[in-house]
Amino acid sequence: MAGPAAAALLELSNVTKRFGGVAALDGVTFSAAKGEILGIIGPNGAGKTTLLNCISGVYRLDGGDIRWQGASIAGMAPHRVARLGIGRTFQVVKPFQSMTVRENAAIGALFGSTEAHLPPRQAFERADEVLELVGLAHKSALPVTALTIPDRKRLEVARAVATNPRLLLLDEVMAGLNHVEIDEALEMVRAVHATGVTIVLIEHVMRVIVGVCDRAIVLHFGQVLAEGEPSKVLRDERVIEAYLGERYARQQRGG
């Protein structure tokens, strides 16, 4: 696992995004180092998904800058950001309903980063590789409509990984899963990371943050409330008060 002292792939400097008069992000500054898994946590409405939308080009910034390997990508269109090697998933999975699992995964290889922009035959070979990686190879011929919610989340990750990203942004891929499914999803994240992909993930499941993340950043009202090693961040009184609650704190203390 990489630490923050490693070379930064992604750097955010005073990133601000407003909707009307409300600042969803207000001066957010942090970096993601090459090879690390960085967790983003915080209460609903803290600005987490807005943050990923800004990084991936869905939203234009109202202030600050986002740099990828030292060059600004602020204001860049989403397809251009993807071509640079930044892939992402979405909270609400939206596979192509008329396609099979394999065809959905191949879409990522056809329209992903410059390195992943493959012709059809190679795109399907890449799809087979990523479906094996996320544990869906045995369901590749099924129509998407036959998949369970956990499997649809796996497919969302597979399609993003098929774009051949250097950085993968994961938006609550564990949401709605039971304990067994979360454990399986954790192994999937570890497997993707082991291929050399840097990961920034949004998650509400704290054992995911502690289990796979090198660092955690807490957003609150669009600002960075705390940052550091996950177990320390989760013991921060400000984080407990703003997000986790005393019940969580008592559980961790064994009370």
What CATH number should be reported for the domain holding residue 210?
3.40.50.300
Pair 209, 137 in one domain? no
Pair 246, 192 in one domain? yes
Pair 185, 66 in one domain? yes
- Distance, CA of 163 to CA of 168 (rounded, Å): 10
Residue 235 lies in a domain: yes
Contacts of 248 by beta carbon, 8 Å cutoff, 6+ apart: 206, 234, 240
Pair 104, 74 in one domain? no
Residue 91 lies in a domain: no
Say which amino acid occupies 145.
T
Residue 90 lies in a domain: no
Residue 253 is predicted with a pLDDT of: 62
Residue 215 lies in a domain: yes
**What is the pTM assigned to this prediction?**
0.90
Residue 2 is predicted with a pLDDT of: 53
Say which amino acid occupies 104.
N
| pLDDT average per 10 residues of sequence, the chain (255 residues) | 65 97 96 96 94 96 97 94 91 87 90 65 91 94 93 92 93 89 91 95 91 96 96 92 79 62
Pair 78, 187 in one domain? yes
Residue 72 tokens read as: 């600004």
Please state the domain count of the chain. Answer: 2
Residue 114 DSSP label: G
110, 138, 165: which is the final residue of a domain?
165
Pair 144, 255 in one domain? no
**Angle made by CA atoms 203, 93, 65, in degrees to the nearest 5:** 60
Q: Which domain holds residue 104?
A: 97-165
Pair 254, 183 in one domain? yes
Pair 14, 77 in one domain? yes
Pair 81, 202 in one domain? yes
Residue 175 is predicted with a pLDDT of: 86
Residue 237 lies in a domain: yes
Residue 113 is predicted with a pLDDT of: 55
The helix (H) or strand (E) run that includes residue 27 is strand 22-33
131, 165, 199: which is the final residue of a domain?
165
| b/e sequence 73-96, b meaning 16+ C-beta within 10 Å | bbebeeeebbbbbbbbbbeebebe
